[in-house]
């Protein structure tokens, strides 16, 4: 059974690329047509590439590998967190810290500090051992750390793969993964350079429902590899998206203005 259908792709607007004038020529092989000044992505390729990515993730997950979900723009933040947590993976949905992969040991020091602060908050130490002003400063530090490294608290070793939404925005993550030889699965929209992506999925990386669909597919591959039948992928769940894009063309234009 296919992990994704043409109907689902069309329903979430996965085929809508950016304005043709904003395209990257390296995306030419993945573009089906141009309509009303907008590039339309080739969904037949999307179907095939999604299947390949799914099988790859299922394989690494069956061997104990973890996926790091990366998407810091507003449309991706919720899906990255939700699907990473659902499959026991990790996520970065606020800001990519330089060296997160290439200098993991330094990043782990921040994680250690976060865990210490959370423990102090939980057992009352923050209120008992510090003044109100000092406690407030420490809580502010804890909140900042939660935003930056909260999604990688249990990432003691490098992930087996990255799933990335918006590779133009997350270019630092791609560069670090490339240096370390970590495979990257990513949505490639019509305006990107896909060279650093290992598993390329031609798809709209701006629409919330499109992002949720693919994040869920990647997450489900991990769940299936781990025998988690109770979390079986159901397309109907996509209807719970906070924002329903009724006009993807308008949405793209608004983003690009």
Segment 88-109, tens digit of pLDDT: 999 999 999 999 999 999 999 9
pLDDT of residue 252: 55
Give percent of the chain above pLDDT 70: 88
H or E element: which one contains 144?
A: helix 132-149
Residue with tokens 């061997």: 63
Residues of the chain with pLDDT under 50: 229-250
This prediction has a pTM of 0.87
pLDDT of residue 2: 80
β-partners of residue 185 are: 163, 199
Rounded Cα distance, 257 and 254, in Å? 5
**Residue burial 140-178, b: 16+ Cβ < 10 Å; e: rest:** eebeebeebbbbbbebeebbbbbbbbbbebbebbbebbb
pLDDT of residue 244: 39
- Domains by residue range for the chain, with CATH: 6-101+158-256 (3.40.50.10490), 105-151 (1.10.287.610)
pLDDT of residue 3: 92
β-partners of residue 145 are: none
pLDDT of residue 227: 87
């Amino acid at each position: 059974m296919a992990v994704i259908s043409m109907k689902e792709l069309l329903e979430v607007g996965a085929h809508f690329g950016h304005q043709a004038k904003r395209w990257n020529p390296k995306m030419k092989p993945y573009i089906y047509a141009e309509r009303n000044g907008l590039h339309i992505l080739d969904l037949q390729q999307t179907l095939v590439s999604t299947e390949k990515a799914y099988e790859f993730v299922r394989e690494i997950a069956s061997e104990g590998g973890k996926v790091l979900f990366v998407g810091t723009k507003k449309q991706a933040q919720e899906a990255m967190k939700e699907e990473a947590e659902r499959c026991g993976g990790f996520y970065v949905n606020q800001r990519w810290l330089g060296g997160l992969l290439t200098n993991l040991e330094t990043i782990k020091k921040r994680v250690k500090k976060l865990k210490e602060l959370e423990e102090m908050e939980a057992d009352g130490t923050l209120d008992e051992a510090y003044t109100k002003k000092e406690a407030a400063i420490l809580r502010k530090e804890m909140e900042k750390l939660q935003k930056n490294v909260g999604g990688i608290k249990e990432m003691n070793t490098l992930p087996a793969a990255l799933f990335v939404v918006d590779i133009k925005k997350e270019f630092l993550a791609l560069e670090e993964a490339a240096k370390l030889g970590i495979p990257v699965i990513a949505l490639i929209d019509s305006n990107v350079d896909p060279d650093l992506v290992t598993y390329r999925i031609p798809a709209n990386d701006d629409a919330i429902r499109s992002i949720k669909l693919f994040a869920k597919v990647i997450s489900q591959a991990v769940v299936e590899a781990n025998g988690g039948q109770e979390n079986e992928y159901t397309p109907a769940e996509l209807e719970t998206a906070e924002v329903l894009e009724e006009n993807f063309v308008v949405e793209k234009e608004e983003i690009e203005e």
